[in-house]
Every structure is written in structure tokens, then in C-alpha cells.
């Protein structure tokens, strides 16, 4: 799983007009309806449109891989979104598509320490990079910190001991659910996408 600034700062990494051509690799044919359901959350609430690839130079290829991963923003050419066996949930697919649109993780935002505490000692070895803070020159903020974002890890993400949270909310007794547990974008996600791509359209 791969934030304002929780989006890429460089406008060249944005998809022109919010139009994102895509191909679903045959390795994911059984998941086509689920992937399209995730895409429809963007279509219904924002100006983002995932459109079947028609030979464009820049497009997203959604394929079966070893992990859940995506580059952040438009990279140019054929751009992979990997959905491993453990990634085939509507919320996880929306999470990876948000990366492809141009969004980093919410919990990597420069202001995250105002809202959450990271328990570094309970993070699995080699996974600490998933919790690093992005600098203000790396991302653009398009809204307030959002604990309900599809881009926020759950409280047990990459935990050595699953009974102890790796992420704890500072100011409230809130259970952080991970992307796989969610069925829709948060209102904060919607507003950030609209602010990034859809001004004048909503």
C-alpha cells in the first residue's frame, strides 16, 4: 500500500482532465466487476474517469502481482497497479487507484504527528518506510487530516504483535480501520480529489 500535501506537487504527474485510461490484465479477469465497482466510486463522486485503454501512450495496467502497490501519479507509458491475492477488496483497490491518481498515504503527511502516534517498536522489520513523514516540499495538501481516508493505514498495519497498534489516534478513542475494511471514499478523500482535479466542475 503505498496525502495538504498528500498529493504529488508536480503537475506533470497529474492525469490531464482527470482521464485515466486503463487495462485490466487477463490475470485479474475474475476481479473485473470488483475493480469496476471501485472505479465507480470515483466516477460517482468526482470528475475522475477511468476509461478503457484505446491506444493512449500513458495508461494504467491493473495486474495480478505479489503485493498491493502503485506508483504515485502519472508516470508515463504503461504504468502498473499490482493487486496480489491479499489485495482483492474494493477498499484496497480504491487505495491503489488513489495512488495512481496522485495521492500519498494520509499517515505520511507532514502534520501527522499532530493527530497520531507511531509505535515504531512494533513495526515489522523492514517496513518502517511505510510510516515515514513526507516533507512539505514533497506533497501538496488539499484538505484537513482525515482519519477516515481510504489512504490511511489501519491501527494494526505491519504490526509484529497484532494485539498492539502500530498507529494510535492522539485525541480520541477511535479505531482506525484499514483500506480493506472500507467500501467507499471518505468525504475528505472526495473533497481532496475535487480540489486537485475538479475545480469548476463541482
User: Which positions make up the binding site for Zn(2+)?
Assistant: 95, 99, 105
Question: Is residue 58 exposed (0-12), middle (13-18) or buried (19+ Cβ within 10 Å)?
Answer: middle
- The CA distance from 81 to 50, in Å, is 13
What one-character-per-residue DSSP string does 35-53 give? HHHHHHHHHHHSS-EEEE-
Place of cell 483500506: 179
Is 191 tagged catalytic? no
- Among 4, 41, 56, 96, the active-site one is 96
Q: Identify the three-state secondary structure at position 28.
A: helix
Nearest to 123 by CA among 171, 73, 158: 158
String of b and e for 67-97 (b: at least 16 CB within 10 Å)? Answer: ebbbbbbbeeeebebbbeeebbbbbbbbbbb
Q: Which single residue is written with the C-alpha cell 504504468?
A: 79
Q: How far apart are CA 105 and CA 79, in angstroms?
A: 19
Residues with catalytic function: 96
Amino acid at each position: 500500500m503505498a496525502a495538504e500535501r498528500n498529493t504529488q506537487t508536480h503537475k506533470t504527474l497529474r492525469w490531464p482532465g482527470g482521464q485515466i485510461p486503463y487495462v485490466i490484465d487477463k490475470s485479474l479477469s475474475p476481479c473485473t466487476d470488483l475493480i469496476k465497482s471501485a472505479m465507480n466510486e470515483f466516477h460517482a463522486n468526482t470528475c475522475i474517469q477511468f476509461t478503457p485503454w484505446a491506444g493512449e501512450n500513458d495508461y494504467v495496467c491493473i495486474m495480478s502481482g505479489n503485493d498491493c502497490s502503485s506508483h504515485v501519479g502519472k508516470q508515463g507509458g504503461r504504468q502498473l497497479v499490482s493487486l496480489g491475492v491479499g489485495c482483492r477488496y474494493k477498499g484496497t483497490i480504491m487505495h491503489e487507484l488513489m495512488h495512481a491518481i496522485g495521492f500519498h498515504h494520509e499517515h505520511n503527511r507532514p502534520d501527522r504527528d499532530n493527530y497520531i502516534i507511531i509505535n515504531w517498536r512494533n513495526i515489522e522489520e523492514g517496513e518502517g518506510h511505510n510510516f515515514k513523514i513526507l516533507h512539505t516540499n514533497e506533497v501538496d495538501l488539499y484538505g484537513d487530516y482525515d482519519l477516515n481516508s481510504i489512504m490511511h493505514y489501519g491501527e494494526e498495519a505491519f504490526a509484529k504483535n497484532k494485539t498492539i497498534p502500530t498507529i494510535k489516534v492522539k485525541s480520541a478513542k477511535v479505531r482506525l480501520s484499514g483500506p480493506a475494511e472500507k467500501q467507499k471514499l471518505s468525504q475528505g478523500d472526495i473533497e481532496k480529489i475535487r480540489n486537485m482535479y475538479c475545480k469548476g466542475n463541482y
